[in-house]
Amino acid sequence: MAEMQPQDHHAYMRYALGLARKSPPKPTNFCVGAVIVDQSTNTILADGYTLELDGNTHAEQCCLLKLAQQHGVAEEQLKDVLPPHLALYTTVEPCSKRLSGNLPCAERILRLAGVIDVVYVGVMEPKEFVQENTGRAALEKAGVRFEHVAGMEDAILKVAKAGHSS
């Protein structure tokens, strides 16, 4: 992996898109890639993609589960062991509802409010599965910035919807 410059949001989003391409295409999921970056050191702490880990896992969930494993803690305890000033890059807006019954990604990120300062997204969640994603509002209310990285929408949606019929 080429070294990315601090705050090069497009480079991190391209990296996340490369991860999304590893997601197995399914009609019931979006293929998403996510990266957690320590903004203080410009270091990638974890990355993930949809269905990378066992279960019906989302990209953000995979990042957090990997971090928990690295630190030997439960996911719920990550706030106690992670450095501050983290950024999450995700190709698609974190979900606010899981039809599978799993904890939504926005709620997982909310646990880390104050550690994750900002969420960068490539596209807002398409309405195929959940008509109204309320995650952005909840994150912003908790003090987590939410920023759109423009210019890659077509490529992200093409990958995200792989396996969908339309």
Q: Rounded to an integer, what is the distance from CA 59 to the centroid of its chain?
A: 5
For the record, the structure tokens of 149 come out as 């990285």
Provide the 3-class DSSP secondary structure of residue 160: helix
Three-state DSSP state, 146 = strand
Strand partners, 116: 86, 113
Catalytic residue IDs: 60
Cβ-defined contacts of 150-153 (< 8 Å, 24+): 151/10, 152/10, 152/13, 152/14, 152/17, 152/122, 153/122, 153/123
Whether the Cβ atoms of residue 64 and residue 104 lie closer than 8 Å to each other: no
Judge contact between 133 and 95, C-beta under 8 A.
yes
Task: Say which residue the tokens 């490369």 belong to.
Answer: 18
